[in-house]
Amino acid sequence: MLNRFVQSLALVAVLFAVLLSTATRTAALDATERSQLIPSICAALRTEYVYPDAASKLVDALQVRAQRGDYESISEGDALATRLTADLREVSRDRHLSVQYHPEGAHTDPENWSIEDSERSRGKAERDNFSFRKVERMDGNVGYLDFRGFYEPYLAASAMSAAMGLVARTDALIIDLRQNRGGEPTGVAFLASFLFDTRTHLNDIFVRRGDRLEQYWTSQLPPPVFGGKKPVYVLTSKATFSAAEDFTYALKNLKRAVVVGETTGGGAHPTREFQVTEHFAVGVPFARSLSPITHTDWEGTGVSPDIAVPARDALRTAYRAALRQIIASTQDPEQKRSVEQLLKAPSVK
């Protein structure tokens, strides 16, 4: 009897918590915040969006939909953010554009972060292992990195250095970006620095506000580094996006890597979240990439592979190509025989 009473109390507590959570998520959508939301999103787009003409079209479309009442029946914050995101992307075809709802309150400007905000960001990055899923020395002395995102070097430099140190002495390197959704361009430049012998111009980013051009170069790093002469393969898929495409595009155009897999997602616009009301933020592409080689970017088209295969076959394809390149370049007869035998193995074919 007592156990049933305790269980009933526990069930009531859970239901109360769910109701309280729901109330918290919907209470924020009061009349004042609703009235501010669309004008505030429009103001952020006018000020920050990388293409002013496109920003005007987005603003006009949002205002028309708001005036005809498209959003009035949506009472839940997440649902409203999802609908606004879909409407913005329908007009722009820009997958970086988004609206986010933060029930605890939006606070998304890193320039104004507190020490507590920075520590939370560091803790999240550490729990994510700075996006490294696997670092491996494969048979035949081929290095392999499964890497899912680019953090800023102030957070991830030691992790990147440790990972690259483990593969620095391999004869070829495979960098798997098939599930990498992007991140920070500073992280792109830092990781690429392990793959060049001299300081190299990777990419430029044009920032609309202030009309300024930011250049991204590799840095000279202390050993161990992989270096600029041994073969590198980058694996891609349709999900490879943003900063991961930046990394791939730069290495492809500089002839530093062979890209294996599928054409990438096509997002070349660096994006930042801007708080627009107490609980809503809008992710706005505020800049665009410019290759110093092609003088354009991959927005909307993606980065095409050098060797086109389905994403599921990219690792095996790149691994075989790496082994063949090791065979062709080695001066060691014993290594050549060993790798030739490995290439004939059923598990590698």
Q: In this predicted model, what pLDDT tens digit does every residue of 253-294 receive, in sequence order?
A: 999 999 999 999 999 998 889 999 999 999 999 999 999 999
Which of 195, 118, 120 lies closest to 163 in space, CA to CA? 195
Whether residue 315 contacts residue 176, with contact meaning beta carbons closer than 8 Å, is answered with yes
- Pick the closest to residue 194 from 162, 166, 164 (CA basis): 164
The model's pLDDT over 23-35, given as tens digits with 9 standing for 90+, comes to 444 444 778 888 8
| Residue 167 located in a structural domain | yes
Do the Cβ atoms of 257 and 197 come closer than 8 Å? no
Please count the other Cβ atoms lying within 10 Å of the Cβ belonging to residue 115.
7
- pLDDT bucket at 110, cuts 50 / 70 / 90: low
Residue 7 belongs to some domain of the structure = no
Residue 41 located in a structural domain: no
Residue-level pLDDT at 125: 84
Q: Which stretches does DSSP call E strand in 106-239?
A: 132-138, 142-147, 172-176, 201-207, 212-217, 232-236
pLDDT at 137 over 80: yes
The predicted pLDDT at position 6 comes to 40
> According to the model, what pLDDT value does residue 116 have?
58
Q: Is 114 helix (H, G, I), strand (E, B) or coil?
A: coil
In whole numbers, what is the pLDDT of the chain averaged over residues? 88
What whole-number distance in Å separates Cα of residue 50 and Cα of residue 1? 66
d(CA 284, CA 158): 30
Distance of CA 246 to the CA centre of its chain: 10
Q: Taking residues 329-346, what's their average pLDDT?
A: 93
Whether 13 maps to a domain, the answer reads: no
Q: Phi/psi at 136 (nearest 5 deg)?
A: -145, 145
> What pLDDT band is residue 18 in, cutting at 50, 70 and 90?
very low
Query: Would 161 be classed as within a structural domain?
Result: yes
Q: 291 with 253: CB under 8 angstroms?
A: yes
Q: Are strands 280-285 and 98-101 parallel, antiparallel or unpaired?
A: antiparallel
> Among the listed ranges 65-74, 142-151, 174-183, which one has the minimum average pLDDT value?
65-74
The verdict on residue 160 lying in a domain is yes
pLDDT value at 12 more than 60: no
Q: What is the mean pLDDT of residues 179-205?
A: 96
The pTM of the whole model exceeds 0.85: no
For the residues 230-256, what does the mean pLDDT come to? 97
| Residue 224 within any structural domain of the chain | yes
Give whole-number Cα distances, 345 to 98, 171, 228, 339, 349, in Å.
48, 19, 30, 10, 6
Number of domains present in the structure of the chain: 1
Is residue 159 one of the residues assigned to a domain?
A: yes
| Count of CB atoms situated within 10 Å of the CB of 265 | 22
Q: Tell me, what CATH number does 188's domain have? A: 3.90.226.10
pLDDT at 108: 56
Range of the domain at 264: 116-271+284-344
**For a pLDDT cut of 70, what percent of the chain falls above it?**
88
